[in-house]
Copies of this chain bind each other. A is one copy, B any other.
């Protein structure tokens, strides 16, 4: 987290009204590690805010890429769609996270990004952001870090999809979601999932029925309490154990 003094509200230009310094996420998003003057520049790069209702699209596959979006509040799912109609959700994004990083290279959105609930976005025109990154010290590095982090997150998901059992995947998801909730200042044990069982299945590479059965099983085992999308985590340590259940042959590999 950054250490901007929230008391020092000197700036009040209209363009900044809806910008980073007023954002409740100040310090989580792009601005991490930037000085106050740089924050002003960044705020100037924000084109506008968009409010989406549940089910509305941030982007559709094939849309031309012009801007990244930072989530100010709410949440989204990113859906990759196969030629055969199969859906793979590659990420759920929460406030402070950046959308559209996968669209830079082809200048087209490769996926549908859909709001899971009412969601507020900051639109960051990419050309302006790039120009700014050449001038604001630290911003370029920050962008590299954020993109690198996205690569890393996806690698963790690859590990889950390729090598973990259904049980391990759901436990890992719950722990990850818990951690992110906590980083946003919410309870790490009282989760309100914004996505359906179907979404969760499409993310974890499982059938929705399997996801549902696992929730029931975890509840029977006393690990969690399930009330629809309201989940209480009773035992984080045991959930962590579940993610690490040793495979049959723990032998080292070449």
A residues near B (Cβ < 8 Å) are: 55, 80, 82-88, 90, 101-106, 110-111, 130, 133-134, 140-141, 143-152, 154-159, 161-164, 196, 198, 202-205, 243-247, 250-254
Contact = CB atoms under 8 A, between A and B. Distances in A.
Contacts of A85: 246-247, 250-252
Given A86-B164, A102-B152, A202-B253, 9 more contacts: A80-B158, A84-B244, A84-B245, A84-B250, A85-B251, A105-B145, A130-B140, A158-B161, A162-B204
A148 B205 contact: no
B253 A198 contact: yes
Given A84-B250, A162-B205, A205-B162, A101 B155 contact: no
A148 B86 contact: no
A106 to B, nearest CB: 7
Number of copies: 2
A151 B86 contact: no
Contacts of A80: 155-156, 158-159
Contacts of A87: 163, 253
Contacts of A110: 152, 155
A75 to B, nearest CB: 16
A157 B162 CA distance: 10
A87 to B, nearest CB: 6
A247 to B, nearest CB: 6
Contacts of A104: 144-145, 147-148
Nearest to A89: B162
Contact of A247 (B86, B162, B204, B245): B86
Nearest to A83: B244
Nearest to A147: B147
Contacts of A146: 105
Nearest to A252: B85
21 contacts: A55-B254, A80-B155, A80-B159, A82-B164, A83-B243, A83-B244, A86-B159, A86-B163, A86-B164, A88-B158, A88-B163, A101-B147, A101-B148, A101-B151, A102-B152, A104-B145, A105-B152, A111-B155, A147-B148, A158-B158, A163-B205
